[in-house]
């Protein structure tokens, strides 16, 4: 077919093909969620509605897009891992990143009311995205461990910080001063001796973040019966086995998780 004389401008498009065989990770992060959380009255330090909405959006991303084998979320961020051999959109980084970000952001608005019944959405949220390639299973595991360690460090800090403010009446500046230079052990000790909180009893979702993996689940639904004729109009329950992204609140840093879910890394899924 004849090409127009304008066709040459296509050559200006940059090649952003992700290196073959690498794990492709897209990480999204809420834009200015410090303000967003304030404006929408998020509970401090953790708002379970907000975290569950994030996970609903991540599940939607996994269902709607191709080739995502695992996702991990905490705070206002979610990471999505595409299988090594994925050839979705010829591995173009911009396609991966923009499709994940837009699907996630529209889901956040679409599902908002299911999680925040009494809190109107006051303005449209945004999410930044980045693509990072990991060349080996070890680097991918270390990436996910890094995000989970970040979740742990921030959550421990925030749990003590807000206990000092909410339960001991300190100002944010005083709480910050009190925690300056403290190690994890010190923070656990403050929580236990001052607030009778055993950090390990805090909800797993807050301490570990959320891991999404594909699992078979039985879905039960009622269905109109068509046949035989004498039963017409009656309802019956039908159970179907479906593969869905299921949330787990577990450790990713040790080997146990990877031994329990070997197919994530083998690329056979
Ligand atoms: P950014 O990402 O550079 O545009 O700016 P931020 O403000 O989103 O900063 P970031 O992503 O480093 O930190 C996440 C913010 O979101 C942090 O200020 C606390 C807030 N946030 C996330 N989850 C919760 C929550 O469950 N409850 C409350 N109160 N705040 C939360
Ligand atoms: Mg940031
Ligand atoms: Mg953010
Ligand atoms: Mg963040
Ligand atoms: Mg198009």
The response to whether residue 113 sits with its C-beta less than 6 Å from ligand 1 reads no
Is 147 in a helix, a strand, or coil?
helix
The response to whether residue 44 sits with its C-beta less than 6 Å from ligand 1 reads yes
- Global pTM reads 0.94
pLDDT per residue as tens, the chain (269 positions): 689 999 999 999 999 999 999 999 999 999 999 999 999 999 999 999 999 999 999 999 999 999 999 999 999 999 999 999 999 999 999 999 999 999 999 999 999 999 999 999 999 999 999 999 999 999 999 999 999 999 999 999 999 999 999 999 999 999 999 999 999 999 999 999 999 999 999 999 999 999 999 999 999 988 776 666 666 667 788 899 999 999 999 999 999 999 999 999 997 54
Is 236 in a helix, a strand, or coil?
strand
**Strand order through the sheet with 77-82:** 127-134, 23-30, 77-82, 68-74, 210-224, 235-248
Question: Given ligand 1 and candidates 27, 30, 45, 51, which is best to mutate, with the most ligand atoms within 8 Å of its CB?
Answer: 30
Closest CA to 151 of 94, 203, 82: 203
**For residue 92, what is the DSSP state?**
B
Is beta strand 23-30 parallel, antiparallel or unpaired with respect to 77-82? antiparallel
What is the distance in A from the centroid of ligand 1 to the CA of 160? 17
The response to whether residue 247 sits with its C-beta less than 6 Å from ligand 1 reads no
- R_g of the chain computed on alpha carbons: 23
């Amino acid at each position: 077919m004849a090409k127009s004389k304008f066709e040459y401008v296509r050559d200006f498009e940059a090649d952003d093909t992700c290196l073959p065989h690498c794990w492709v990770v897209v990480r999204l992060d809420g834009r200015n969620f410090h303000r967003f959380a304030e404006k929408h009255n998020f509970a401090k330090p953790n708002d379970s509605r907000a975290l569950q909405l994030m996970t609903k959006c991540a599940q939607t991303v996994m269902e709607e897009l191709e080739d995502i084998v695992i996702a991990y979320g905490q705070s206002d961020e979610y990471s999505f891992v595409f299988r090594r051999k994925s050839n979705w959109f010829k591995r173009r980084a911009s396609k991966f990143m923009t499709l994940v970000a837009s699907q996630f952001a529209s889901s956040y608005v679409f599902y908002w009311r299911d999680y925040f019944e009494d809190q109107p959405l006051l303005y449209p949220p945004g999410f930044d995205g980045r693509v990072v390639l990991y060349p080996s299973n070890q680097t991918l595991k270390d990436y996910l461990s890094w995000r989970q360690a970040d979740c742990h460090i921030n959550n421990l800090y925030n749990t003590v910080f807000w206990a000092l403010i909410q339960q001991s009446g300190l100002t944010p500046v005083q709480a910050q001063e009190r925690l300056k230079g403290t190690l994890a052990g010190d923070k656990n000790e403050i929580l236990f001796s001052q607030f009778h909180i055993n950090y390990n009893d805090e909800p797993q979702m807050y301490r570990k973040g959320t891991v999404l993996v594909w699992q078979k689940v039985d879905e039960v639904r009622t269905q109109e019966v068509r046949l035989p004729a004498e039963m017409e109009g009656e309802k019956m329950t039908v159970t179907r086995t479906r593969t869905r992204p299921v949330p787990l609140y577990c450790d990713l840093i040790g080997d146990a998780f990877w031994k329990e879910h070997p197919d994530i890394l083998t690329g056979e899924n």
